[in-house]
Amino acid sequence: MATGKMPFNGSSPGEICGAILYHEPAPPSQVNPQASAGLESVIYKALEKDRNLRYQHSSDIRADLQRLKRDSRSEPYAAASSSTVKRAAEASVGQTGPVAQNEKIWAIIAAAAVVLVALVPGGLYYRSRQLTRTGLTDKDTIVVADFANSTGDAVFDDTLKTALTVALNQSPFLNVLSDNKVAATLKLMTRPTGTELTPEVARDLCQRAGSKAYVAGSIASLENEYVLALKAVDCRSGDTLALDQVTAYGKKNVLNRVGEAAAKLRSELGESLATVQKFDVPLAQATTSSPEALQAYSLGGKATRENGTVTALLNYQRAIQLDPNFAMGYRAMGNDYFSLGELGRASKYYSKAFELRERASEREKLLITADYYRNVTGELDGAARTYQELIANYPRDKAGYFALAIVYSLLG
């Protein structure tokens, strides 16, 4: 407002938000010589990255502006209201010279004061909460909330939560609360299994399940550009533990950008850079490049929990029709047919998943391989070695220990 220009620029919303978080603005006096050193100081304090060094109350900003006004004109300055702002702006129209310019600047500052009084108490400043750098421990679990989808495109419903879960499950460090545990906790909360996990519900569920944090995501769009944001929140204190935002150009790039944001989130939550780099398959390769196929897969998992295996199979079948190279989709088909006792069909889908195992995350690839040895070829030694590798890479995977125990019992 004081310079006629935005303090942070970028070619996309993602770049602008990155500049807000990490870059310093140009001195206002370089843009507008009429901006005094005192006004520049007020602006810098309002834009301070460290919340403890920023203005704590809107009244503090008003007091500083009043002081500047008094010192520049040697007369008391009344707090601006919307009507005084309007009158000040109207009075400056048609005037020229330094006095008129000064009046215009102070009209703008008065308007800024009114806006800040409205914004600061409401907490609408983009980074109003400083990130709390609290790492997770090996006993902590996290809850993945549903994405807030404001694009109007239903293909992202359920899909991005599944994508984020797959991305976070690549980590040997993080421990994502399983869908079964989420469903069981919702039941204890007297909520339906399919309850939408909004940030509020996710935080409540997180506390009930004894988890440490929840991760919430959102997606918004402007024409063919998508802005994705991820935020990890301590579910007891409400402090933000990690935050990242990325921009995807075109729908086909959304899944990989979710994976990239998740990788950064993993690092911010305390995972070593070495394991982030080692276990970070791009999501389009770890799952599918088709958002429609991943949506069908997501609906299959949801149907398994809510309606049973038969309904889930229809969704999984659609997923592999949309993407014939979707390894996770074939494994899901194999698991469902195996649970129905149709071992011939299960073997067919397990074999196809094994053939496509390189198109999966490291954890999923090991599970696909173990399924193949155990249920198709009967190579129990191979299955045991695979489960051992799974446990070595992912020591918190309880299912791996359970499956290895079953294989050992079959080996005698």
CATH number of 396's domain: 1.25.40.10
Q: Verify that 171 and 274 share a domain, yes or no.
A: yes
* 297, 319 Cβ separation under 8 angstroms: yes
What is the per-residue pLDDT for 89? 41
Q: Verify that 146 and 244 share a domain, yes or no.
A: yes
Q: Verify that 316 and 398 share a domain, yes or no.
A: yes
Q: Verify that 275 and 313 share a domain, yes or no.
A: no
Q: In this structure, how many other beta carbons lie within 10 angstroms of the beta carbon of residue 77?
A: 19
Interval 339-377: pLDDT, tens: 999 999 999 999 999 999 999 999 999 999 999 999 999
137 found inside a domain? no
Interval 37-53: pLDDT, tens: 888 888 888 888 776 67
Q: Verify that 254 and 324 share a domain, yes or no.
A: no
Q: Verify that 271 and 311 share a domain, yes or no.
A: no
What is the per-residue pLDDT for 105? 57
Q: DSSP per residue over 198-251, as a string?
A: -HHHHHHHHHHTT-SEEEEEEEEEETTEEEEEEEEEETTT--EEEEEEEEEESG
Of the candidates 240, 265, 283, which is a domain's last residue?
283
82 found inside a domain? yes
Q: Verify that 268 and 166 share a domain, yes or no.
A: yes
Cβ-in-10-Å burial (0-12, 13-18, 19+) of 185 comes to: buried
Task: Report the relative pairing of strands 213-222 and 148-149 from DSSP bridges.
Answer: parallel
Q: Verify that 406 and 295 share a domain, yes or no.
A: yes
DSSP state of 157: T
Q: Verify that 271 and 155 share a domain, yes or no.
A: yes
Of the candidates 239, 264, 283, which is a domain's last residue?
283
36 found inside a domain? yes
3 found inside a domain? no
Q: Verify that 152 and 254 share a domain, yes or no.
A: yes
- Beta-bridge mates of residue 243: 231
Q: In this structure, how many other beta carbons lie within 10 angstroms of the beta carbon of residue 314?
A: 13
127 found inside a domain? no
How high does pLDDT run on average in the chain?
Answer: 84
From first to last of the 412 residues of the chain, give the pLDDT tens digit.
788 788 877 655 555 665 676 677 888 887 888 888 888 888 888 888 776 678 887 777 888 887 777 777 654 444 444 444 444 444 444 444 555 555 555 555 555 554 444 444 443 333 333 444 456 877 899 999 999 999 999 999 999 999 999 999 999 999 999 998 999 999 999 999 889 999 999 999 999 999 999 999 999 998 889 999 999 999 999 999 999 999 999 998 999 999 999 999 999 999 999 999 999 999 999 999 999 999 999 999 989 888 778 889 999 999 999 999 999 999 999 999 999 999 999 999 999 999 999 999 999 999 999 999 999 999 999 999 999 999 999 998 888 999 999 999 999 7
Of the candidates 266, 283, 300, which is a domain's last residue?
283
What is the per-residue pLDDT for 70? 77
309 found inside a domain? yes
Q: Verify that 278 and 305 share a domain, yes or no.
A: no
The boundaries of the domain holding residue 35 are 13-122
CATH number, domain containing residue 199: 3.40.50.10070
Q: Verify that 169 and 267 share a domain, yes or no.
A: yes
Q: CA 13: distance to chain centroid? A: 16
Cβ-in-10-Å burial (0-12, 13-18, 19+) of 79 comes to: middle
201 found inside a domain? yes
320 found inside a domain? yes
pTM: 0.68
Q: How many separate domains does the chain show?
A: 3
